[in-house]
Amino acid sequence: MIPFNRPPRTGNEDQYVLDAMRSNKISGDGQYGQKCQAWFESHLDCPKTLLTPSCTQALEMAALLIDIQLGDEVIMPSYTFVSTANAFVLRGAKIVFVDIHPDTMNMDASLIEAAITPRTKAIVPVHYAGVGCDMKAINSIAQRHNLFVIEDAAQGMMARYEDRYLGTLGHIAAFSFHETKNVTSGGEGGLLILNDPRFIPRAEIIREKGTNRNLFFRGMVDKYTWVDAGSSYLPSELQAAYLWGQLAQAEAITRDRLITWDIYYKGLAELAAQGCVTLPNIPPECQHNAHMFYLKCKSLEERAALLAHFKKQDILAVFHYVPLHSAPAGERFSRFHGVDRYTTQESERLIRLPLWYGMERNISGMVIEQIKRFYLDRR
């Protein structure tokens, strides 16, 4: 069977996880946690990062940090993972969806301004497949209307927009280290990125159950106490140690994934030229990270047939997302501003191909062959 994903593994994780296990500090913010955060702060050139147990929880922290109140509105694409919306729904926000651009599957920045109301508090661009959203346009709209920009960069580690890394373009951003992402902290994990230093003191308090424990450890207060609303947003030191085993290889992981991505792209170029499939489009200002390789079939029916063909050949390919506005919870918590011209239509055509770090070249070759055979048989 050809799986859809294999969690990345560099071989360095074991020694660090064992080392963490044998230390007498295995809760959060130990040596490995500090090392990972320092790595990200220097790599991203940003004032503060905080490891979290997941990207979902980093997004929840972002919603707390910008003080989302009941009835506030947050603009985002409907074509995204549920956590992008849930983080704000949990604080009482109304989600306002705008359509995507079919070329990138990212939110269409030209539709944002018309969706803004006096209740709008934030824009949440999702960098789908590690391809940057139109951040120049989004940031300029946000500035004009005094809105926060929270990047859902769950898929965006190591990818760039112009000369900046994704995750450094909004006020706050979130990465995911889930096992399906390019880099993992042992299955689950995330990172909160604070590009605006105003958020740092409160972020540290929210993450430590609403206490000033962080100041206490730095010797800045003589006892720690409950100072604000908060929760527990620290990953264990074992997760940080696992992640530390991957960070030194982050460039190599990205390079390797990009090679596989290019093999798919070149291998399917002829089918695309014949109009059988649509391949991803990478805007010139974006350097992506090969988080995913997708193609688009002509229709929902054709996609189902291709998936069935893959299944017969023991190849696991998947699709996502059911647009959030059309899901049961979407009716309760959201509205779609404007016309759904592309979100539903494009989501029904998309299929993700197997892709992982260290994927053998003959496997990507087999997948390409099966796609070609499928379209040959359909003629």
Ligand X SMILES: *Cc1c(COP(=O)(O)O)cnc(C)c1O
Contact residues toward ligand X (CB under 6 A) are 54-56, 80-81, 83-84, 126, 152, 154-155, 176, 178, 190
Select 151 or 302, whichever has its Cβ closest to ligand X: 151
**130: alpha, beta or left, given left = phi > 0 and alpha = psi -120 to 50?**
left
What is d(CA 283, CA 105) in angstroms, rounded to the nearest whole number? 12
User: C-beta of 28: minimal distance to ligand X in Å?
Assistant: 16
Select 169 or 271, whichever has its Cβ closest to ligand X: 169
User: C-beta of 39: minimal distance to ligand X in Å?
Assistant: 18
In contact, 52 and 190? CB cutoff 8 Å: yes
Select 153 or 371, whichever has its Cβ closest to ligand X: 153
User: C-beta of 261: minimal distance to ligand X in Å?
Assistant: 17
User: C-beta of 173: minimal distance to ligand X in Å?
Assistant: 11
Select 82 or 221, whichever has its Cβ closest to ligand X: 82
Q: Please name every residue paired with 208 in a beta bridge, in sequence order, or none if there are none.
A: 232
User: C-beta of 74: minimal distance to ligand X in Å?
Assistant: 14
Measured at the CA of 180, the angle between CA 178 and CA 181, to 5 degrees, comes to: 70
Residue 315 has φ and ψ, to the nearest 5°, of -110, 130
Q: In what order do the strands lie in the sheet with 164-165?
A: 164-165, 160-161, 286-287
DSSP class of residue 110 equals: G
Select 85 or 315, whichever has its Cβ closest to ligand X: 85
User: C-beta of 58: minimal distance to ligand X in Å?
Assistant: 8
Residue 181 has φ and ψ, to the nearest 5°, of -90, 175
Select 112 or 268, whichever has its Cβ closest to ligand X: 112
In contact, 185 and 35? CB cutoff 8 Å: no
DSSP 246-290: HHTTHHHHHHHHHHHHHHHHHHHHHHHHTTS-B-----TTEE---
3-state secondary structure 30-77: CHHHHHHHHHHHHHHCCCEEEEECCHHHHHHHHHHHCCCCCCCEEEEE
SS3 203: helix
User: C-beta of 178: minimal distance to ligand X in Å?
Assistant: 4
Share of the chain residues as helix, strand and coil, in percent rounded to the nearest 5: 40, 15, 40
SS3 97: strand
User: C-beta of 144: minimal distance to ligand X in Å?
Assistant: 26
User: C-beta of 121: minimal distance to ligand X in Å?
Assistant: 19
What is d(CA 257, CA 355) in angstroms, rounded to the nearest whole number? 7
Select 59 or 263, whichever has its Cβ closest to ligand X: 59
Select 294 or 375, whichever has its Cβ closest to ligand X: 294
CA-CA-CA-CA dihedral for 130, 268, 310, 277, to nearest 10:
80
